[in-house]
């Protein structure tokens, strides 16, 4: 009787119940976010060695009525575990493609690329290709300006399926960047088998490149690997000039990070491009 009593007490633990309720509430709010038009895209600059804007990464934000702008770390896992990531991911892609279609008419903006993050769960869905192709049809986006960011986890299982889908999209002109490179647990063998265009050096290595010999060695070999596989390379999470200088000295010529700009609205990106063109 004592044991079951203890269990009963645990079950009605108010803090646990509060956490569960909060999660249920969050999930139902996430389900409604699409119809209430609460999703936003922010864009973070990507620059070349002279600091010129070459593209942007699209980063999802949730405009919550009470909590304000919520960052993806707080909701992407729940979107993934509930399957909502498929609809939200499609919204992200469509928004980015509309932006590219809009920029296509402007000589100042039509050379920018937009990188879109694709969740491995979204990529593995059976109807992923159909949904993406419908977005392309609806938006008529210039697909040469579109980059999809995928992560190594995509290639741990069902690698052939992932490769087939990538090849279909590449045939339409879409490019692929491998995000968070070096943080996964998979072997490097897949690199040669996949139609990738870019390696993105993870910010955890970039931010320690001056302090840690091990991280510097990882970054150096990533740059060398990209070169020998004929891939572009970009460093993310660059926060100070000394990191950029080190990266440049070691052959990396594309950068993203707070040093060049935080994720901002599309209006801010367009204003920066205009300002640059008159500079």
Distances (CA, A) of 148 to 40, 79, 179, 266: 18, 19, 9, 19
Residues 92-121 that bind ligand C2E (CB under 6 A): 92, 117, 119
| Alpha-carbon gap, residue 56 to 123, rounded angstroms | 21
Taking CB under 6 A as the binding criterion, the range among 16-24, 124-132, 226-234, 257-265 that sits at the site for ligand C2E is: 257-265
* Residue 179 CB, nearest approach to ligand C2E (Å): 5
The total of other beta-carbon atoms located within 10 Å of residue 167's CB is: 11
Binding positions for ligand C2E, 185-214, rule CB under 6 A = 203
| Burial (CB count <10 Å: 0-12, 13-18, 19+), residue 52 | exposed
| 263 contributes a contact to ligand C2E by CB under 6 A | yes
Nearest-approach distance from CB 262 to ligand C2E, in angstroms: 7
In angstroms, give the least distance from the CB of 6 to ligand C2E. Answer: 40
The C-alpha atoms of residue 42 and residue 266 are separated, in whole angstroms, by 7
CB 76 within 8 A of CB 117: no
Q: Which does 120 bind (CB under 5 to 8 A by kind): ligand C2E, Ca ion, none?
A: none
| Residue 95 or 179 having the CB closest to Ca ion | 179
Residue 152 near ligand C2E by CB under 6 A: no
The answer to whether 179 contacts ligand C2E (rule: CB under 6 A) is yes
61's enclosing H/E stretch is strand 53-64
**Quick one: which of 29, 94, 180, 270 contacts ligand C2E (CB under 6 A)?**
180
């Amino acid at each position: 009787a004592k044991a079951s009593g203890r269990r009963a007490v645990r079950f009605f633990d108010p803090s646990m119940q509060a956490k569960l309720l909060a999660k249920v509430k969050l999930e139902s709010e996430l389900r409604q976010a699409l119809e209430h038009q609460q999703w936003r895209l922010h864009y973070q600059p990507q620059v070349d060695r002279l600091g010129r804007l070459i593209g942007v990464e699209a980063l999802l934000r949730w405009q919550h009525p009470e909590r304000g702008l919520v960052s993806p770390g707080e909701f992407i896992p729940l979107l993934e575990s509930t399957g909502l990531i498929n609809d939200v991911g499609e919204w992200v892609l469509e928004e980015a493609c509309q932006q590219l279609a809009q920029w296509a008419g402007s000589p100042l903006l039509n050379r920018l690329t937009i990188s879109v993050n694709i969740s491995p769960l979204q990529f593995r869905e059976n109807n992923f290709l159909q949904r993406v192709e419908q977005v392309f049809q609806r938006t008529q986006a210039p697909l040469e300006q579109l980059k999809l960011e995928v992560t190594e986890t995509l290639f741990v299982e069902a690698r052939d399926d992932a490769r087939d889908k990538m090849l279909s999209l590449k045939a339409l002109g879409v490019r692929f960047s491998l995000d968070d490179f070096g943080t996964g647990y998979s072997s490097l063998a897949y690199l040669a088998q996949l139609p990738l265009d870019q390696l993105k050096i993870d910010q955890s290595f970039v931010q320690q490149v001056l302090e840690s010999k091990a991280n510097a060695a990882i970054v150096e070999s990533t740059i060398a690997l990209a070169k020998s596989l004929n891939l572009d390379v970009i460093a993310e999470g660059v926060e100070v000039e000394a990191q950029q200088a080190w990266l440049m000295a070691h052959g990396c010529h594309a950068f993203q990070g707070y040093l060049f700009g935080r994720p901002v609205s599309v209006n801010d990106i367009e204003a920066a491009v205009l300002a640059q063109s008159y500079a």
